[in-house]
Structure 1
């Protein structure tokens, strides 16, 4: 087979949008050895990166496993990590990786081609339990072990998105012992990886502590420190209430945390700490309407809601200024981003006209009605970030001005999935991070998760399939531009703002930076604590 090396093309917006810091991510101080970093957050209910690769679990699980490749934040270039090189067939069906020969997992087992093959086979067996990881393995056939240091991953159809997946924590490489376990065993016992830290104690949803691997010598190419971590250990301090995280940092109970509230940033910086921020790639914080049996079955309603609220006004002063109003169905830092800013501009008069023409007349209390049915919809989610409700409250008031009623349906953590499965909701409140634009296919395509609950195939589904098979970058970006225009014009995704990471550290934390293009979390091996 003919092979060629491919690299992703990253939009220019990355240079401006990524790696912004209220405080610099590099302080130049000499690293000091020792100490345990206490990170305030939620201890995952499952310590397996293949099953819990989402934010905020990524912060807690990144230390334990490494990936085949890394990705340069500014250029999008793929860099060798566990794999020394990679090759992609001309039809993007076959991916060849040559591996380092000096890597071991924390249980002493050696990294080889069979271990990599076992990982991908294991993810396929996990199925829906590995919801993010499995998305990169569409049309996966098998992994062929060519030699101890060479593996070829075969797909039945082109899957250019897979390459990007190998640079994420979702497809981080775990030990054969972990790959052989059931989903439940992996969750309860925690994965074994080749990362710079090893789990010393794990109680699901309660306790997670790490110690450094003293023999670690294959660091992330994005890190300055390629050897053993400066820290002796890490502790994930289980704090679920985001409102108390800043106080815990300022009082010295923790050293770092993520998801900073805007009113806390100045307090942290005033105490000598830093707040690092970067815009996440993927699809924005958005509403995905249910078009089956709700008011969103009417295209005019989706289109009116799309332009019936002011995105900038909904977030200004409510969430941190590191968040930005959305411009498309993909965030500005995502591969293939194409602005749809004009189509997302605030146009209340046009929204009213759309609804008038569709037969929705203003009724009691200013809310429109049609055929005895109120123009009302709920937004259902179970996020525990308390600013979400504040943003939606502003959107609610704005939509009321055009005669649309929005009901906020915040459920206890973990309960939204069952409601979504039942179909008894009007709109999901969602956000997804990955530099790979195929994420839109994963959530919207009728051949994938079909969050829209569409009944029949449309041109959009063919476009979503075509972009996954387009090897040529220019051709693919053209298809992605058409997808974004279609999704916005049809109101199939109603974006509000681009999600951004925020990582707060105390004054004694040195060397912290947000260097990942593929998801949240710092390079822990570079971090040190001043005495």
Structure 2
């Protein structure tokens, strides 16, 4: 029996949904080279965790739904969906004209296989425990209709269906890929480009999918991509990326450093685009499980010892937006009441440390207590270090030493070593930002006790209760209030987070490159589907 329907969200076929879209273009042989700041940890969309890898995911894979800047959902591989009155049953109607790159058909059985893959023990435990914690089962109703049952209502489930994690993978390649965890050319999607070559540390190359005819709602054109091929070169050094652009070695770069913005803006042959990311601000998360940050006074002192406005001006030369909350200011759930409530009071920082017993100083000027220096260690994973975050850490390091006698040690490690340090609890500061299109999805990963990336080790039953209630609520006003309580708890009441800046993405390009833009929901660079060369 079909469950009672609370709301029906039908969608016109994509050819009608993309209002004002350009007509199908005749494919031409055009290639583009794009320099990117970081290389992906994985090319498997189901294991996606890097904001910077979003554009790569959506070159090769398509999600079930799309999401607009206003938070509304639109069609993609699913053309319509209904949600039952009790919020437990989602019925998806799927396109019937889609094929994977390996020639196999996209259908309800394929979507079921993708959802079931997350339930494989050890495959992606954080997603299984957070984003899909409410998922019970998927049932094939007909070749192009799927019924999904949840264990409890989840306001974020549609957001999951529109995320890179819901990029659809050919069931054949899920079973046969040589390296499923990393992905690569043998992990097959339905997207506008086919992954042809990956050279670790150097580049990734895609060629156009000539059969592509199912872009998301809001796409600027229909049919195959304009570009016949695109190569992304991994150039982690900002000066090298900019030099490659100005010399014509590449036509597009992302991750434009503040030091080079003026140069690019003055060049009549180049364009620059910028967008703030949604999700969470880049913040320092304080590990409260052991000394010295098990003492709230020390956590507050660290924040007060930093003149963050001055630091951001110095590091980003006026291009960074200061953060006051764990939630970014672009999010509808941002709580502005936290603005100007903490930070930059050096006298208070020192008074707090004196009260916490850190009164003595060693020969280098660092505070000591019981023979131990006041030391805090940041652990950063190299693939996630971007936006001059290493330079930012050095500036904060200098300020907390000079202003309060805190020994802030910055360690940038490879992914495996960084994870081991976290597992060993061998850190006091963890820097992080999330590009989730709904900030609630990020908060569920970061804040609850035992959450997948709760690096603060902080536990508060009220906080967990508010987050659970927000996830179960379909009312935006109620969710906003609950998330505001959560923000005030971790930023103001317990000082377990030090928000730093709202991440932004920049794209610089040769003037003849058109169609560049940002994902409307996340603010990160969009895929190359609409990109073209010339008018």
TM-score normalised by the chain length of structure 2: 0.88
Corresponding residue to 1:418 among 417, 420, 426:
420
Mark the runs of 5 or more structure 1 residues left unpaired by the alignment.
8-29
How many Å apart are 1:324 and its aligned residue?
A: 0.7
Give the structure 1 partner of residue 5 of structure 2.
Answer: 3
Give the structure 2 partner of residue 165 of structure 1.
Answer: 160
Take 2:467 and 2:228, find their aligned partners in 1: how far apart are those partners? 46
Give the structure 2 partner of residue 23 of structure 1.
Answer: none
Take 1:140 and 1:318, find their aligned partners in 2: how far apart are those partners? 43
Give the structure 2 partner of residue 387 of structure 1.
Answer: 388
Take 2:208 and 2:320, find their aligned partners in 1: how far apart are those partners? 34
Give the structure 2 partner of residue 125 of structure 1.
Answer: 120
Take 1:386 and 1:234, find their aligned partners in 2: how far apart are those partners? 24
Matches within 5 A, 1:125-524: 125=120, 127=122, 129=124, 131=126, 135-181=130-176, 184-185=179-180, 187-190=182-185, 191-269=187-265, 270-319=267-316, 321-339=318-336, 340-364=338-362, 365-383=364-382, 384-385=385-386, 387-400=388-401, 401-412=403-414, 414-436=416-438, 437-449=440-452, 451-452=454-455, 454=457, 458-489=461-492, 490-518=494-522, 520-524=524-528
Take 2:121 and 2:173, find their aligned partners in 1: how far apart are those partners? 12
Contact 2:55-2:527 within 8 A present in 1 as well:
no
Take 1:281 and 1:390, find their aligned partners in 2: how far apart are those partners? 23
How many Å apart are 1:355 and its aligned residue?
A: 2.7
| SS of match in other structure, 1:522 | coil
Mark the runs of 5 or more structure 2 residues left unpaired by the alignment.
10-24
Contact 1:278-1:502 within 8 A present in 2 as well:
yes
Contact 1:53-1:132 within 8 A present in 2 as well:
no
Higher RCO (CA < 8 A, seq sep 6+) = 1
Take 2:456 and 2:258, find their aligned partners in 1: how far apart are those partners? 36
**Structure 1 range deviating more: 241-250 or 31-40:** 31-40
| SS of match in other structure, 2:410 | strand
Take 2:178 and 2:126, find their aligned partners in 1: how far apart are those partners? 12
**Structure 1 range deviating more: 361-370 or 94-103:** 361-370
RMSD (CA atoms): 2.7
| SS of match in other structure, 2:47 | coil
Take 2:314 and 2:466, find their aligned partners in 1: how far apart are those partners? 38
Take 1:167 and 1:233, find their aligned partners in 2: how far apart are those partners? 25
How many Å apart are 1:435 and its aligned residue?
A: 2.1
Give the structure 2 partner of residue 61 of structure 1.
Answer: 57
Corresponding residue to 2:109 among 95, 114, 118:
114
CA distance change for structure 1 residues 126 and 250 in 2, over 3 Å: closer, same or farther? farther
Give the structure 1 partner of residue 78 of structure 2.
Answer: 83
Take 1:344 and 1:80, find their aligned partners in 2: how far apart are those partners? 43
**Structure 1 range deviating more: 447-456 or 435-444:** 447-456
How many Å apart are 1:433 and its aligned residue?
A: 1.1
| SS of match in other structure, 2:397 | helix
Count of matched residue pairs? 509
Contact 1:113-1:150 within 8 A present in 2 as well:
yes
Take 2:369 and 2:163, find their aligned partners in 1: how far apart are those partners? 47
